[in-house]
């Protein structure tokens, strides 16, 4: 019985993925079978409850914005439930901020993911005011009490090295930056040839200045990692064979093959 149940759940997951794939097509083609929008189509045309339709729509919006999420779901790192629930928390964030939030939810149960999201949304938003001068930039930043206490502790711990906040913060920027620059790319054990490790992905995006690398295209949304020599033609998932393309140019390239 348990084995049967497990099998059914597996089928359920597979069907959900297939349904979303089809809904994505409907969404992209804007053909809602006579209904005014996808939501109405899902409720009136397909008979979904409004709650389910809304969750499905949330997933679609996120996947459309960050196509790599589909891979994460298929790898089991994120579930559709987690994606759908996270939507209302992150919908107003920039794509990069959304990515950052979603990465903290990877490999978490959807219950735990909700906890994380709720905790984050309670945290006061950090405000930064920036003023540019010819030779420097002055920023003032609002920290929560908790963050300020942490900063104080950091300063106390490293007091011999950084006698004031200014030096401490500069040192922190330096260390964080260095850590980022020193990213090494280990050969990944994943059997999936499409798999591109997150660090490599980040590196490629950064190298591309978070923009599409198609000549003349400045798109900074809906970015995808593209295999210059396609996998089907023995291209590999190595840095020299990867580039960042926007959804549009990736599609265009796919069509030209
Ligand atoms: Zn482009």
- 130 vs 48: which has the higher pLDDT: 48
pLDDT exceeds cutoff 80 at 134: yes
Is 250 in contact with 226 (CB distance < 8 Å)? yes
Distance between start and end Cα atoms, the chain: 47
Per-residue CA distances from 219 to 103, 111, 124, 228, 255 (Å): 22, 35, 31, 18, 19
Separation of CA 242 and ligand 1 centre (Å): 15
Separation of CA 250 and ligand 1 centre (Å): 7
Separation of CA 64 and ligand 1 centre (Å): 15
Q: How confident is the model over 166-208, as pLDDT tens digits?
A: 888 888 888 887 776 655 555 555 667 778 888 888 889 988 9
Domain ranges (residues) in the chain: 2-122, 128-181, 198-256
Query: Is the pTM for the entire model greater than 0.85?
Result: no
Separation of CA 65 and ligand 1 centre (Å): 14
Q: How confident is the model over 73-96, as pLDDT tens digits?
A: 888 899 988 999 899 888 888 888
Separation of CA 223 and ligand 1 centre (Å): 8
Separation of CA 128 and ligand 1 centre (Å): 31
């Amino acid at each position: 019985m348990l084995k049967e149940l497990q099998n059914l759940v597996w089928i359920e997951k597979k069907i959900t993925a297939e349904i979303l794939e089809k809904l994505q097509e409907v969404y992209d083609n804007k053909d809602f079978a006579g209904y005014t929008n996808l939501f109405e189509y899902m409720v009136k045309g397909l008979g979904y409850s409004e709650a389910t339709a809304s969750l499905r729509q949330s997933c679609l919006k996120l996947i459309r914005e960050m196509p790599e999420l589909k891979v994460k779901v298929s790898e089991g790192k994120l579930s559709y439930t987690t994606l759908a629930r996270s939507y209302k928390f992150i919908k107003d964030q920039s794509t990069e901020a959304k990515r950052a939030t979603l990465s903290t939810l990877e490999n978490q149960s959807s219950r735990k993911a909700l906890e994380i999201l709720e905790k984050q949304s309670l945290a006061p938003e950090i405000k930064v005011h920036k003023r540019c001068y010819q030779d420097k930039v002055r920023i003032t930043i609002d920290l929560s009490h908790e963050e300020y206490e942490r900063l104080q502790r950091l300063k106390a711990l490293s007091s011999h090295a950084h006698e004031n906040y200014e030096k401490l913060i500069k040192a922190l920027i330096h260390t964080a930056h260095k850590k980022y620059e020193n990213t090494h790319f280990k050969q990944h054990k994943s059997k999936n040839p499409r798999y591109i490790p997150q660090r490599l992905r980040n590196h490629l995006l950064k190298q591309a200045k978070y923009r599409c690398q198609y000549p003349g295209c400045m798109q900074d949304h809906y970015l995808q990692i593209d295999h210059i020599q396609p996998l089907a033609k023995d291209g590999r998932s190595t840095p020299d064979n990867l580039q960042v393309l926007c959804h549009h140019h990736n599609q265009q390239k796919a069509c030209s093959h």
